């Protein structure tokens, strides 16, 4: 075993112990990856409010490779529910047949996606009800003007749009945000106020279009908010994790 691999293994053990101690107090694990991502935490809480942290699910900028349900791009950030993190630490990570967590091969985001997919953690649809994304692997300008590289169009799970329809009014995260752009976003989001313009997002957040990626508990929670049709139109196929959750809450 190389020194680099040994260090990575040691760090994984330490991080796992720290996160394990925090599991009882965390509902979600926020999109932390590097210092070039800008995250709007208020919108993250808004998006997640309808989901139960005891259901194993994770969200992010979804790519379609490597597993049937795809995986979440590390650049765009991803967020795990408490149960998803718990199962990753306790079930997937210690089992080399489920997760090769102690090697330096493979990209972190794709390997995490495989680890979570192997234990039935659901890859959720983080888009808004209009199909506009909330997690982005590039800057706002890149997505607004359709300047994304060709490889992104081959990877992205849901077909992206450009212009103002590229991005949700409740977008959560952008990547490759340098210090100057961070200050610009901070000013535009939290300081600039057009006089006479008031904007309030619907509460609870309307569900995204891909109802196959939404747990039944979330469909039932918003059934009184005009989403009864979505719950009834979804094929009545419950995966193993959904059945465990439904048995626990019923």
Tell me the pLDDT tens digit for each residue of 196-216.
988 888 888 888 999 888 888
Q: Consecutive 10-residue runs of the chain (250 residues): their mean pLDDT?
A: 45 56 61 74 93 93 94 90 90 89 74 94 95 96 96 95 94 95 95 90 89 83 51 42 53
Per residue in 12-27, pLDDT tens?
554 665 565 566 666 6
Domain count, the chain: 2
Return the pLDDT at 4.
Answer: 44
What strand order describes the sheet that includes 57-60?
28-29, 78-81, 57-60, 122-123
Q: Do both 130 and 223 map to the same domain? A: no
Bridge-partner residues for 63, per DSSP?
Answer: 71, 156
Return the pLDDT at 220.
Answer: 77
| Contacts by residues 158-166 (CB-CB < 8 Å, ≥ 24 positions apart) | 158/62, 158/125, 158/127, 158/131, 158/133, 158/210, 160/133, 161/131, 161/132, 165/130, 165/132, 166/132, 166/133
Helix (H, G, I), strand (E, B) or coil at 59: strand
Q: Do both 61 and 172 map to the same domain? A: yes
Return the pLDDT at 248.
Answer: 57
Q: Do both 200 and 161 map to the same domain? A: yes
Task: Give me the helices (H) in the chain, please.
Answer: 3-22, 41-48, 82-87, 108-118, 140-144, 150-155, 179-190, 216-221, 228-233, 240-249
Q: Do both 98 and 158 map to the same domain? A: yes
Give the Cβ contact number of residue 85 at 10 Å: 24
Return the pLDDT at 143.
Answer: 97
62 φ, ψ (degrees, to nearest 5): -85, 125
Return the pLDDT at 1.
Answer: 40
Q: Do both 178 and 230 map to the same domain? A: no
Q: Do both 226 and 159 map to the same domain? A: no
Return the pLDDT at 91.
Answer: 93
The residue among 145, 135, 124 whose CA lies nearest residue 53 is 124
Range(s) of the domain holding residue 224: 211-249
Return the pLDDT at 5.
Answer: 41
CATH number at residue 158: 3.90.550
Return the pLDDT at 135.
Answer: 96
Q: Do both 119 and 223 map to the same domain? A: no
Q: Do both 174 and 221 map to the same domain? A: no
């Amino acid at each position: 075993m190389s020194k680099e691999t040994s260090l990575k293994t040691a760090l994984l053990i330490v991080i796992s112990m720290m996160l394990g101690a925090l599991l009882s107090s965390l509902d979600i694990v926020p999109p932390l990856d590097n210092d070039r991502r800008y995250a709007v935490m208020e919108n993250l809480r808004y998006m997640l409010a309808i989901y139960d942290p005891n259901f194993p699910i994770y969200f992010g900028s979804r790519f379609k490779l490597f597993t049937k349900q795809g995986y979440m791009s590390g650049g765009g950030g991803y967020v795990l529910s408490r149960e998803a993190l718990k199962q990753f630490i306790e079930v997937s990570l210690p089992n080399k047949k489920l997760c090769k967590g102690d090697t330096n091969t493979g990209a972190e985001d794709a390997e995490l996606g495989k680890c979570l997919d192997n234990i039935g953690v659901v890859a959720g649809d983080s888009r808004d009800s209009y199909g506009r994304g909330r997690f982005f692997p590039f800057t706002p300008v890149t997505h607004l003007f359709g300047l994304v590289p060709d490889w992104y169009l081959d990877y992205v799970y849901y077909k992206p749009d450009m212009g103002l329809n590229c991005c949700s009014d409740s977008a959560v995260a952008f990547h490759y945000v340098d210090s100057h752009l961070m200050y610009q976003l901070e000013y535009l989001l939290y300081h600039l106020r057009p006089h006479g313009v008031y904007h309030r997002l619907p509460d609870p957040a309307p569900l995204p279009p891909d109802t196959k990626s939404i747990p039944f508990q979330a469909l039932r929670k918003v059934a009184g908010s005009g989403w009864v049709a979505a719950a009834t139109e979804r094929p009545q196929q419950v995966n193993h994790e959904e059945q465990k959750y439904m048995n626990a809450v019923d």
